[in-house]
Structure 1
Amino acid sequence: MGAREVFIGLPWWVKWIAVPVLALFIFGGLIASVVGFVVGLLFKILIFVALVGGLIYVVRKFFPSSGSGSW
């Protein structure tokens, strides 16, 4: 018995309103936690990229390379 057979004969509002509302009620905290984690991770990545870019800018501006290739 698949998922489609379970919903056969039920009113449209059960399929399109009641089930999603129940899913949000039950899993809403989990969904919010996952979304919050992803947004926080993206923010930290953005801050990291900005700080590395600023560090590279400062190093190149105040410590001009001699072209010797110290690496």
Structure 2
Amino acid sequence: MTQETRKSIGQRIRSLREQRNLTQEQLALMTGVGRSYLAKVEVGTRNPTVDFLEKIAISLDTTLGNLFENL
């Protein structure tokens, strides 16, 4: 995954998280990761696995496809 794609996905995750009024800490707990890891995913400095992205999608009540839409 390119840096640009990671940033775009991270921005989408942050946007969806904020729309649902969740903090990074809350979403991190829901997905079983640390808040700092989630923060790095949101800014695009970590390369998340498909399994993790699926957990994010489920926790945000969306689809995995929606995270990649319009990239």
Which has the larger share of helix? 1
Structure 1-normalised TM-score? 0.28
Structure 2-normalised TM-score? 0.28
Structure scoring higher RCO (CA < 8 A, sep ≥ 6) equals: 2
